[in-house]
Structure 1
Amino acid sequence: MLQYEFETVDCDNASGYSLFGGVGLETTRHREIICRRAAEGWRYAGSIPRSQRAGGFIETVDLVFEREAAPEE
């Protein structure tokens, strides 16, 4: 049986610049979280938008991690 955990990443702390004018957004915190979780034995399984603005900008996402659950006795 698999065990799942979720970790929320805030996209409001993103930064960057778009070549087509205006501000582009780039997040980096997700990489740190995925590497830390992998070291703890978790596998990255995907992401789910958690909150989104009316204009389509995703404010937060949940990163989904899975691993084999310890066998029940």
Structure 2
Amino acid sequence: MLEYEFEAIAADRGFFVGKTTGHREAILRRAAEGWRYAGWIPTQQMNGSVLELDLIFERETEGQA
């Protein structure tokens, strides 16, 4: 069975385009802890720009292969 965790990442909003920071570090840190990156979901938007997103991580629970 899989278990999931979510990590919020903020986007720095520019004039038209937002830029995320910290996502690469979060993915590498979670990978070192045994998590796999599974995707992302926008959790806060304004005028078509993503202001915040959740990175989704998954891993097998104990006793599962």
**Following superposition, which runs of at least 4 residues in structure 1 exceed 4 angstroms of deviation?**
none
RMSD: 2.0
1:50 match = 43
- How far does residue 23 in structure 1 lie from its aligned partner after superposition? 6.1
Residues 58, 64 of structure 1: CA spacing in aligned structure 2 closer, same or farther, 3 A cutoff? same
1:18 match = none
Q: What is the alpha-carbon distance in structure 1 between the residues aligned to residue 40 and residue 61 of structure 2?
A: 20
Identity of aligned residues (%): 54
What SS is found at the alignment partner of 2:19? coil
2:57 match = 65
**Aligned: 1:29 with 2:29:** no
In structure 2, stretches of 5+ residues that fail to align are none
User: How many pairs does the alignment contain?
Assistant: 64
What SS is found at the alignment partner of 1:70? coil
Q: What is the alpha-carbon distance in structure 1 between the residues aligned to residue 45 and residue 30 of structure 2?
A: 25
- How far does residue 70 in structure 1 lie from its aligned partner after superposition? 1.3
Q: Which has the larger radius of gyration?
A: 1
